[in-house]
Amino acid sequence: MISTDSDPTNPGEDGRTHHLDVYERRWMIASVALLVVFAASVAVAGFGLGFQVPGHESRVDPNTVADSPPWNNPGLRDLGNGEYEVYVIGRQYLFEPNEIRVPVGATVTFYVTSVDVQHGFKLQDTNINMQIVPGHISKLTRTFEKAGEFPYICNEYCGLGHASMAGSLIVEAQGG
């Protein structure tokens, strides 16, 4: 990959006159190939297959966001056809609501914001994991195929009471 301006009358100790060794050159090519494959894979998984990270949603004023709909009444909204939205507010040191119940098969879109400092929102055993930044809304969607309890915990340090900040999503068996 690199041109050489080496001096053949002045070989290195191992007889090399090029400043790059042949194995070194092959290693470089293999490394680049590997990294290109990685980059392509995540791009396809993210933008092609929809395994997405939370994107740019919308801005709010953290001082007033909790005064008007939908944030003045955080919690679950049933949109019909098994689709749900849930609005969660993070504040030092609790989530509102701290319990959410949905039926098996529900597709839930989580909207989360903070009214004070940064928090985290991690729904255990799932890939719902979002940074909660005051002034922004974080959003991710997931379908719940199995019944069970999924704790959601704050995973960004938010002050001295941070360790107690958690809630629980309960996925209920059909008809239960």
Partner 1 sequence: MLTQPRTYQLDTSQKRFISYHLVIAVIALTVGSIFGPLQSFNWGGLDLYQFLEPIGLGDYYKGLTLHGVLNALVWTTFFITGFLTLTTIVGLGRPLKHPRLNWAGFITMAVGLVMAGIPILAGWASVLYTFYPPLEAHWGFYLGLTLVVVGSWIEGYGFYLTYYQWRKENPDTRTPFITFGGLITMVMWQLATIGVAVEILTMLLPFSLGLLDGTDPQLGRTFFWFTGHPLVYFWLLPAYISWYGLLPREAGGKLFSDSAARLAFWLFLLLSIPVGFHHQFVDPGIPNSWKLIHATLTYGVAFPSLLTLFTVVASLEYAGRKRGGTGLFGWIRALPWHKPSVSAQLLAGILFMFGGIGGITNASYNVNLVVHNTAWIPGHFHLTVATAATLSYMGISYWLVPYLTGKPLWKPKLAVAQTWFWFVGMLIFSNAMHVLGLLGAPRRTDLNSAPYVPEEWSGHLLRVSIGGAILLIGVILYVLIVYKTARGKDHLPEGEEIEVPIAESITDPQLTPMWLDRWRPWLVGSVALIILAYGPQLAQQISNAQFTSPGFTP
Residues within window 36-75 making contact with partner 1, judged by CB under 8 A: 36, 38-39, 42-43, 45-47, 51-57, 59, 61-63
Q: How far is the CB of 174 from partner 1 (least distance, A)?
A: 26
169 sits near Cu ion (criterion: CB under 5 A): no
Residue 19 structure tokens: 């400043």
Q: Which stretch binds partner 1 (CB under 8 A): 68-76, 79-87, 98-106, 115-123?
A: 115-123
Q: Least Å distance between CB 162 and Cu ion?
A: 4
- CB closer to partner 1 out of 53 and 69: 53
The first and second tokens of residue 92, run together, are 């030092």
Q: Would you call 88 exposed, middle or buried from its count of C-beta atoms within 10 A (0-12, 13-18, 19+)? A: buried
Which stretches within the chain are classed as H helix? 22-43
Site for partner 1 in 3-22 (CB under 8 A): 3-7, 10, 12-14, 16-17, 19-21
Strand partners, 151: 168
Q: How far apart are CA 36 and CA 54, in angstroms?
A: 24
Q: Residue 62's binding partner, choosing from partner 1, Cu ion, none, with beta-carbon cut-off 5 to 8 A by kind?
A: partner 1
Is residue 170 within 8 A of residue 97, CB to CB? The reply is no
